[in-house]
Amino acid sequence: MKRLIYPSPVEISKALERPSAGIGDIDIIVKEVLARVRAEGDVALREFSLKFDGFAPASFKVEESSFQEAEKHVPEKIRDAMRAALASITAFHTAQLQEPETVETTKGVKCWSRDLAIEKVGLYIPGGTAPLFSTLLMLAIPARLAGCRDIILCTPPGKDGKINPLILYTASLCGVTAIYTIGGAQAIAAMAYGTESIPAVCKIFGPGNRYVTRAKELVQLEGIAIDMPAGPSELLVIADESANPSFVAADLISQAEHGTDSQVIMLTDSRAMMEKVQREVEEQVMKIGRSDIAGKSLANSSLILLPDLDECIRVSNLYAPEHLIIATYNPYIHASAVVNAGSVFLGNYSSESTGDYMTGPNHTLPTSGYARSWSGLTTNSFRKRVFFQEVTARGLRVIGPATELLAGAEMLEGHRNAVSVRLKYLNDEQN
């Protein structure tokens, strides 16, 4: 890790730069995939699946029997741990189901809202070595709580041509309504446009490689909603001398192991802490299986010594980290000054990894500084708010004349007239 001792603003900006991945020729490939799946449906799906992922199942849809079998292949201990995660995540996401406002804004003008489920949602879980069942928990639980009618999952199979039993078990645990063995940009295309075997959805959620991410961005331009823009994972730790250097180092490494483009940053007001953490990182990183990956992303990452903790918070807000650990004497004081962050962990025992599985809040969070304007996923990410209003005759007598005036000032006569015909009717009736 790089060390910066009381850096200048320019040096800070440079250290906070995110590793960038160009679009390159991804766009050409993804656009072709989208266009062809749209035009040709399953035929194109099969072709791209064979070409990019090396498989093309007879049927994309996973049979009901595979769901039931999956449980047998998941050790009981893991099932117990998953059910514990399910309970925490459900508790937190249920609390998000608040009753929206009802307001009589004027006598006779009643206004209210209802949060209605998005009927059809599509979840994507990438393949690869690690089966990301925790992300499936984080997507499917709020989808079910929101009341989505169709919750479909697309995920590519492993080398054996089958979907990992951990994923199948999680899907059955969380109420996923259908699973399709398909990955990549072609899976996103299928969920956006629909094919003979895969239904179109209204909103697409979940992480993926650069092709998947780009496909989501491009279908969004066509009016398919997506969860949020994606980027590499990141962690910022603010630690003072009360922190435990071994814990801090373990947290930095845990985020660094996600991918070579991950970024971790420690801000501290203690030079001694900075040095201890650096030694701990060097020792601990050698002991994990993914030390190659972690080593590369740590090379992109910095330990930064700043004059005081207020300055640490200021720099953190500038960076807008996906994950923020505050390991200080009084983390509550510093947490109250947070302006931009995805998810914040307070104190020495709140490891970021507890948040990935067990604490309860969603782990699908804004990266790359998007925390300045985006939220992490909530149950409401699977719903939309609809407004309602009822204007009675009495209410119209109050707000009608002002509506006529304002519509007139905007030179929208038709808008004005829609009130005028009603007020005239009411006046005629009265006389």
Half-sphere exposure of 204 (CA within 13 A, CB side): 33
**DSSP SS3 for 102:** strand
Q: Is 343 an interacting residue with respect to its own copies (CB under 8 A)?
A: yes
Q: Is 35 an interacting residue with respect to its own copies (CB under 8 A)?
A: no
By CB under 8 A, name the one of 68, 330, 354, 427 that touches its own copies.
354
For residues 166 and 157, give the distance between their C-alpha atoms in angstroms, rounded to a whole number.
12
How many residues in the shown chain lie near its own copies by CB under 8 A?
134
CB-CB contact of 229 with 218 (8 Å): no
Q: Is 111 an interacting residue with respect to its own copies (CB under 8 A)?
A: yes
By CB under 8 A, name the one of 87, 286, 299, 333 that touches its own copies.
87
Q: Is 384 an interacting residue with respect to its own copies (CB under 8 A)?
A: yes
The nearest distance, CB 402 to its own copies, in angstroms, is 4
Query: Closer to its own copies at the Cβ: 57 or 353?
Result: 353
CB burial readout 332-359, b (16+ within 10 A) else e: eebbeebebbbbbbbebebebbebbbeb
By CB under 8 A, name the one of 77, 159, 430, 431 that touches its own copies.
77
The nearest distance, CB 241 to its own copies, in angstroms, is 17
Q: Is 277 an interacting residue with respect to its own copies (CB under 8 A)?
A: no
Q: Is 247 an interacting residue with respect to its own copies (CB under 8 A)?
A: yes
For residues 74 and 86, give the distance between their C-alpha atoms in angstroms, rounded to a whole number.
16
Query: Closer to its own copies at the Cβ: 40 or 410?
Result: 410
Query: Contacts from 9-14 at CB under 8 Å and sequence distance 24+?
Result: 12/304, 12/315, 12/318
Strands (E), 320-409: 323-327, 343-346, 383-391
Span interacting with its own copies, options 125-133, 182-190, 271-279, 303-311, rule CB under 8 A: 125-133
Residue 173 burial (C-beta neighbours within 10 Å; 0-12, 13-18, 19+): buried
Span interacting with its own copies, options 2-10, 40-48, 182-190, 393-401, rule CB under 8 A: 393-401
Query: Closer to its own copies at the Cβ: 56 or 111?
Result: 111
Q: Which tokens go with 12?
A: 């800070």
Which of positions 199-218 make contact with its own copies (CB under 8 A)? 202-203, 217
Query: Closer to its own copies at the Cβ: 46 or 203?
Result: 203
Give CA 177 to chain center in angstroms.
21
Choose the catalytic residue: 234, 257, 322, 352. Answer: 322
The nearest distance, CB 58 to its own copies, in angstroms, is 29
Q: Checking DSSP bridges between strand 120-124 and strand 109-117, what pairing results, if any?
A: unpaired
Sign of CA dihedral 195, 31, 229, 162: positive
Q: Is 333 an interacting residue with respect to its own copies (CB under 8 A)?
A: no
Q: Is 322 a catalytic residue?
A: yes
Q: Is 415 a catalytic residue?
A: no
CA distances to 318, 320, 338, 346, 374 from 314, rounded to whole Å, are 6, 10, 8, 17, 19
Q: Is 389 an interacting residue with respect to its own copies (CB under 8 A)?
A: yes
The nearest distance, CB 194 to its own copies, in angstroms, is 14
For residues 104 and 282, give the distance between their C-alpha atoms in angstroms, rounded to a whole number.
62
For residues 365 and 374, give the distance between their C-alpha atoms in angstroms, rounded to a whole number.
8
Q: Is 28 an interacting residue with respect to its own copies (CB under 8 A)?
A: no
Q: Is 417 an interacting residue with respect to its own copies (CB under 8 A)?
A: yes
Site string for its own copies, 166-185 (x = CB under 8 A): x-------------------
Q: Which residues are catalytic?
A: 322-323
